[in-house]
Structure 1
């Protein structure tokens, strides 16, 4: 029997943080950091589906969802800042053993957490989170040009993307007929409503500008996979303009024993193919050491 999701708040270094939690308090834990432009809301269905046997915890990052938005001079709104926050959040909750879900920008935060304390990691679930630059999809072409020419022009381009239409494209782009209509418009309307303040828009632009900093981490993340060989499940939607099929199969270079499943969706697989993802995840988590 599933259990209700609990909606909680926590002070993390002076930041009022909203997070969702489900499942028994003493059950094996799955940590769910979210990506752009999402929030813990994107994990709601997965959390319910796992709540009979696993504890799931999904925070809203600072400046996202229902968490506070500290001033930019107090919080960097960079990948480094968000990675440090995730580690502080884990410590504030007293979590010392967990599997980590790696998706979108959240994959970068989760990888750094895993690298900082490998012995705490029981396993990884990778869902459209890339660390292989040579397998970037066509939607990265525009980003590469912005990365190569940073400055006011690039900032204006990022700002144009931080919009309701931009969010709609992030959530519903590239999906084939028969799949696109499974993406609820709640995703872009809710997240735009939550992120449309001038302060949050400016912070999002800053985070987008900082994305090139993640490229230097890719070799270190791949080295972590080779050295520590974490138990890994890959569930992937190949209809993804950023992270197509090759971005998933590339993980086999460093984790040849990883379980890999290419499903029929795209970047937001939990909205379109949850019924296929859940049995795979339940089977995988059930085989992890507590």
Structure 2
């Protein structure tokens, strides 16, 4: 008798798949990705620039057997709305992330902090420290003395914000500028691991309105420096369990920016990877293994 495959009884597990959803928060349509059981410990994933929740597309299903993972697109990014009157800055995004977490009933969560997501997620952590079960830090800068050489252009503009300087930043918000963000600093042998989808799919979503928002965020990084001591104080005083996974091939956030966290988190676990700013693309298996081990001990 021939065996037949009944798809209803196969190894198919919906919880391991990434679901693509939207939610309205104060009338703003927010797109988000979700994976994992609804009753599992939560991992909240605020994204970086110039990406969106797309950057977590492979990480999420790799942990979804034990954790519930949620990654929203900020307004002005990815598939979320770009509403007029929204506070397009790190404070506004942190407030949005807080409202997103509340709308989904997330009482406690681990935070995966990367790039802009570090600034946004740490603001949320300061506002509601009781909700933070753990941190995973990956190429996010909060130590001014360890900012990498790529900050020099921004610093020059902050010191002398001319129209010509702003035009250069505006020109960097381009398809080629996006490509450079993803592959411009890593070893050539790693470039082939970076899918062109990261910039080819992001660029068509970049309207002129959104380009203005992106430039405004770059300008806002100057004021963001004033938050660095507050982030450090939060880490030093609260000492959340922390895993640091870092790609040192990063002109904004080199190896020193990773080691600096140990000043305030001496018990943190630090792992320097053979990669750069977008280590989830080049070092995914390592980060997944380290994250599973870490979260299994502190947020299970």
TM-score range, shorter chain: over 0.9
C-alpha deviations, 1:23-43, integer Å up to 9, x for none? 000001100000111100000
Unaligned runs of 5+ residues in structure 1 are none
Residue of structure 1 aligned with 2:30, choices 17, 22, 44: 17
Aligned partners of 2:185 and 2:266: how far apart in 1? 29
**Is residue 55 of structure 2 the alignment partner of residue 42 of structure 1?**
yes
| Alpha-carbon shift at residue 289 of structure 1 (Å) | 4.2
**Is residue 93 of structure 2 the alignment partner of residue 85 of structure 1?**
no
Aligned partners of 1:206 and 1:143: how far apart in 2? 12
Residue of structure 1 aligned with 2:282, choices 227, 248, 272: 272
Larger radius of gyration: 2
Aligned partners of 1:191 and 1:289: how far apart in 2? 33
- Map 1:212-231 onto structure 2 (within 5 A): 212-231=222-241
Secondary structure of 1:7 counterpart? strand
- Contact conserved, 2:45 with 2:70, CA < 8 A, in 1? yes
Aligned partners of 1:147 and 1:282: how far apart in 2? 40
| Alpha-carbon shift at residue 151 of structure 1 (Å) | 4.2
Higher mean alpha-carbon deviation, 91-100 vs 145-154, is at 145-154
- Contact conserved, 2:150 with 2:252, CA < 8 A, in 1? yes
Residue of structure 2 aligned with 1:200, choices 194, 210, 233: 210
TM-score (norm 2): 0.94
C-alpha deviations, 1:63-106, integer Å up to 9, x for none? 100001101xx112111111111111111111110000110011
Aligned partners of 1:213 and 1:79: how far apart in 2? 10
Unaligned runs of 5+ residues in structure 2 are 1-12
C-alpha deviations, 1:133-177, integer Å up to 9, x for none? 111111111111011112423321210111011101111121012
Aligned partners of 2:105 and 2:161: how far apart in 1? 40
The aligned residue for residue 122 of structure 2 is 111
Residue of structure 1 aligned with 2:78, choices 60, 65, 86: 65
Give the number of equivalent residue pairs: 287
**Alignment root-mean-square deviation, CA:** 1.1
The aligned residue for residue 189 of structure 1 is 200
TM-score (norm 1): 0.97
- Map 1:119-134 onto structure 2 (within 5 A): 119-134=130-145
The aligned residue for residue 242 of structure 1 is 252
Moved over 3 A (4+): none
Aligned partners of 1:177 and 1:16: how far apart in 2? 39
